[in-house]
């Protein structure tokens, strides 16, 4: 393995036991391999989190744009909320039916 840097890592007793168990159980050949895979998984999790944050940011921007451009609906009463819910359910059922016959 080229360009390897050695690091000293302190783990709780529980984590150290998990790492040793993965090696002695034959899942990994060394504790370094366990840690490398854990870091790769962490890196992937971070990328997914960043993508989720970006999607949320885009939804926020779209929502603000909708409000600023009159593409919103005021829900002032329970009847308004019920009508909105029913409309969402109806459109959802229609989409599902179209998908099933698709």
Block means of pLDDT (10 residues each) for the chain, 102 residues, are 89 98 98 97 98 98 96 93 96 96 84
Note whether residue 66 is domain-resident: yes
Spatial contact of 47 and 53, defined as CB atoms under 8 Å apart: no
Note whether residue 39 is domain-resident: yes
C-alpha distances in Å from residue 59, one per residue of 24, 36, 39, 85, 89:
47, 35, 30, 20, 21
43 shares its domain with 92:
no
Note whether residue 15 is domain-resident: yes
Per the structure, the count of domains in the chain is 2
Range of the domain at 20: 10-71
Spatial contact of 9 and 17, defined as CB atoms under 8 Å apart: no
31 shares its domain with 44:
yes
pLDDT at 1: 65
Note whether residue 1 is domain-resident: no
Note whether residue 19 is domain-resident: yes
From CA 6, how far away is CA 93, in angstroms rounded? 57
65 shares its domain with 99:
no
44 shares its domain with 91:
no
3-state helix, strand, coil in the chain (%, to 5): 75, 0, 25
From CA 97, how far away is CA 91, in angstroms rounded? 10
């Amino acid at each position: 393995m080229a360009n390897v840097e050695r690091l000293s890592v302190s783990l709780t007793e529980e984590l150290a036991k998990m790492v040793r168990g993965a090696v002695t159980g034959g899942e990994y050949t060394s504790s370094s391999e366990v840690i490398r895979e854990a870091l790769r998984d962490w890196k992937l999790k971070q990328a997914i989190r960043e993508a989720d944050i970006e999607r949320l940011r885009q939804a926020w921007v779209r929502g603000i744009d909708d409000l600023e451009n009159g593409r919103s609906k005021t829900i002032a009463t329970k009847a308004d909320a019920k009508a909105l819910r029913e409309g969402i359910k109806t459109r959802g059922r229609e989409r599902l039916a179209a998908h099933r016959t698709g």
